[in-house]
A and B are shown apart, each in its own frame.
Chain A
Amino acid sequence: MSKIIAKDFKRNKVKYLMILPVIIYIAIFSYKPMYGIIIAFKNYRPALGMAGSKWVGFEHFVRFFNDYYFWRILRNTASISALSIIFGFPAPVILALLINEIKNRYFKKTVQTISYMPYFISIVIISGLIKTFTQSDGLITDMAAALGGERKNLLASKNWFYPIYIISGIWQSVGWDSIIYLAALAGIDQEQYEAARVDGAGRIRQMLYITLPGLLPTITILFILRMGGILNVGFEKILLLYSSTTYEVADVISTYVYRIGVLDANFSYSTAIGLFNSLVNIVFLLTTNAVSKKINNSGLF
């Protein structure tokens, strides 16, 4: 064994030298912060350092489960995440199916190019535009008013926060997210379509019985990944869009961690909340993966 290792090292020492900076970098910027998680079980005082601060066990977790806002941020995180999945997940699949049906090559290319565009615009600018469009005399408010809605600043309204958040999210990423499905579409056997045509299936039927099943493996993998991030809502956009008037519906775990940790400098407590968040994510990822393996024999790992 030690012979193999010695021989391997001799042969591949340059390769190991090449990966060394990466290993060190990951150690400092990924694993060292993981070590920092111990402050979730301590009463961290910057003056005492991470190692020197006093252990308190699960005190911060108990405090979190009894936090006045515990249910509120859990409910909001779950709601925003569920709504994003329900409305946001199918959108790129549908777009890919539609783009796939476009006959004219140039029109197809134009639609794709334009649909990718919002993905390259910064979230700060998008949030700024959302603010402008939904102010009490903004374009979207006008449309809502024309449909019988009340004229007010929509972003400050609890009822409007979710629709604005979800729809703007779809607006930004539907084109980009459709790329992978379009790539998967290219791999579907063309003969199946010919056979279906001979059997007299129309295009809608071909779409439902050939194209959609052909996309299923890709859909499964992306769905597992999406479930793994179930408690990772688009935290930056919420931070940019919410305000104390909409905390009731918009405050999520990560924004709460940010306020408690960064703004109030309550480091240990917010680290505990963050750890809870990560663990729930991992549980979801593993569960979806296991379920997917059972149902269609394909999973991530």
Chain B
Amino acid sequence: MRIRYIKRSRGDFALDIIITLLMLGLIIVTFYPIWYVICASFSSSTAISTNPGKLLWPKNFGLGAYKKALEHPLIISGFRNILIVLAVALPLNIIMTLLCGYFMAAKNVFWKKYIIGYLMFTMFFGGGLIPTYLNQKSLGLYNNLWALIIPGALSIYNAIICKTAIEAVPESLTESAYMDGAGDFTVLFKIITPLIKPTLAVLLLYYGVGHWNSWFNASLYITKNELLPIQNILRAVLIANSNLLNEGAANKDTMDTYAETIKYAAIVISTVPVLCIYPFLQKYFVKGVMIGAVKG
């Protein structure tokens, strides 16, 4: 029952124009730095050094940087390491989150509220940097990829999102399964899991992006270059200006010509996968964010 016959005033028209312009501005400001990185990755090192942050189009176009980046031992090992972490961590994340969410959503469980309290307390208070660091070292999670996998195995916040999705599954479905003699594991993995696939996809994205973009833990727990994930390699060359990438190179002269542009090629390779996935899950974001914030 929309009322459409009220004439649009001149003020409304002006408002539309202002909003459109503001939004176009937002798009440009948001997208330009990303566009710059793409242009820089196809440009020559000199073009980048003389135009820092200022490229609208690739200058002295070439694909050399990508070739060099994909040949570089530390970039290769960086990608390999993070892919290993993802391959092991993501299934672990999803299983732990499902188990936790299923328990949180369960009804008539005597110890539930105490256990939830025990779990949620950790969202507001923790040991802090140093006790956590000492704990991890004492467990032997140091200088191996487990150090990046195990400590991030479960996020209680994500478990709450999962719990809410499980609660939305019609009770009649789970009830009839119980009647047929199905146990909790069957109900969770055979009945509930297929029904909450959209939520699980978003959780996979959250966990995946979290692992993919994290660097701090690796900087604490990994000291061997060949075990560092790609973000830490990028950090070394982008932030610390280290010549890490040149050290491992066979031919130093060709490395120097690509020194600048290879960074951007590595950024593009490391960012594009994520940027290609998230738009497809966009419509599910609302749910996840909403629940998380309201139930905090």
Which residues of A does B touch, CB under 8 Å?
A: 4-5, 8-9, 11-12, 14-16, 18-19, 21-23, 25-26, 28-37, 39, 50, 95, 98-99, 101-103, 107, 110-118, 120-125, 127-129, 131-133, 135, 137-140, 142, 171, 175-176, 179-180, 182-184, 194, 197-198, 202-204, 218, 221-222, 225, 228, 236, 239-240, 254, 257-258, 261-262, 267, 270-271, 274-275, 277-278, 282, 285, 300
| Stretch of B58-66, B106-114, B168-176, B249-257 lying at the A interface | B106-114
Any chain A CB within 8 A of the CB of B209?
yes
Interface of A is mostly: helix
CA distance A122 to B232 in the complex (A): 11
CA distance A98 to B270 in the complex (A): 32
Knowing A36-B134, A111-B27, A116-B278, the reply to whether A26 touches B271 (Cβ < 8 A) is no
26 sample A-B contacts, Cβ–Cβ < 8 Å, listed by A number: A8-B108, A12-B106, A15-B106, A16-B109, A22-B159, A25-B153, A33-B135, A34-B126, A36-B127, A39-B131, A103-B16, A114-B27, A117-B278, A122-B270, A123-B215, A124-B215, A124-B234, A125-B37, A125-B234, A128-B267, A131-B238, A138-B53, A179-B285, A274-B130, A277-B128, A282-B124
Residue of A nearest to B131 (CB): A36
Stretch at the interface among B6-14, B68-76, B191-199: B6-14
**CA of A33 to CA of B11, assembled, Å:** 59
Chain B residues near A176 (CB, 8 Å)? 289
A257:B124 contact, CB within 8 angstroms: no
Across-interface contacts of A37 in B (CB, < 8 A) = 127-128, 131
Q: Contact partner of A197 among B6, B54, B282, B293, CB < 8 A?
A: B6
Interface size class of B (residues with CB under 8 A): 35 or more
Q: Tell me whether A14 and B52 are in contact (CB under 8 A).
A: no
B212 nearest CB neighbor, chain A only: A122
Chain B residues with CB below 8 A from A179, complex form? 285-286, 289
Which of B19, B100, B102, B156 has the most chain A CB atoms inside 10 A of its CB? B19
Residues on the B chain within 8 Å of A4, using CB: 110
User: Which B residues touch A175, using CB under 8 A?
Assistant: 30
Of A15, A121, A221, A257, the contact of B293 (CB 8 Å cutoff)? A221
CB closest chain-A residue, reference B234: A124
CB atoms of A182 and B31 under 8 A apart? no
Which residues of the partner chain B approach A36 to less than 8 Å between Cβ atoms? 127, 130-132, 134-135
Give the residues in chain A near B215, CB-CB below 8 Å: 122-124, 236
On whether the beta carbons of B289 and A180 are closer than 8 Å, the reply is: yes
* Shortest distance between the CB of A135 and any CB in chain B (Å): 6
User: Is the pair B239, A120 in contact by a Cβ cutoff of 8 Å?
Assistant: no
Known contacts A15-B109, A125-B271; is-contact A194 B103 (Cβ 8 Å): no
Rounded to whole Å, the gap between the CB of A238 and the closest CB of chain B is 12
**Contact assessment for B23 and A111 in the assembled complex, using a CB-CB cutoff below 8 Å:** yes
Whether A18 contacts B23 in the complex (CB less than 8 A), given A112-B282, A194-B3, comes out as: no
A247 nearest CB across to chain B (Å):
16
A202:B212 contact, CB within 8 angstroms: no
Cα-based distance from A297 to B86 in the complex (angstroms): 44
Could you list which residues of chain B lie within 8 angstroms of chain A, going by C-beta atoms?
Answer: 1-3, 6, 9, 11-12, 15-16, 19-20, 22-23, 26-27, 29-31, 33-34, 36-37, 52-54, 96, 99-100, 102-103, 106, 108-111, 115, 118-119, 122, 124-135, 139, 150-151, 153-154, 156, 159, 183-185, 188, 209, 212-216, 220, 231-232, 234-235, 238-239, 263, 267, 270-271, 274-275, 278-279, 282, 285-286, 289-290, 293-294, 296
Enumerate chain A residues within 8 angstroms of B216, measured Cβ to Cβ: 236, 239
The distance in angstroms between the C-alpha atoms of A261 and B131, with both chains bound, is 10
Q: Is the CB of B96 within 8 A of A18?
A: no
Contacts of A198 in B (CB 8 A): 3
Contact of A204 among B15, B34, B238, B278 (CB under 8 A): B15
**How far, in angstroms, from A19 to B33 measured CA to CA in the complex?**
45
- In the assembled complex, the Cα of A218 lies from the Cα of B275 at a distance in Å of 28
**Once the chains are docked, how many angstroms separate the CA of A50 from the CA of B138?**
11
Q: How far is the CB of B19 from chain A (nearest CB, A)?
A: 5
**Once the chains bind, are B128 and A257 in contact (CB under 8 Å)?**
yes
Cβ distance B254 to chain A, nearest Cβ, rounded Å: 23
Q: In the complex, which residues of chain A have a beta carbon less than 8 angstroms from the beta carbon of B33?
A: 129, 133
Are B100's CB and A33's CB within 8 A?
Answer: no
| Residue on A nearest B141 in the bound complex, by CB | A29
Q: How far is the CA of A136 from the CA of B130 in the complex (A)?
A: 37
> In whole Å, how far is B269's beta carbon from the nearest beta carbon of chain A?
11
* Nearest 10 CB-CB pairings of A with B: A33-B127, A36-B131, A128-B238, A139-B53, A274-B128, A122-B213, A8-B110, A133-B53, A30-B122, A33-B131
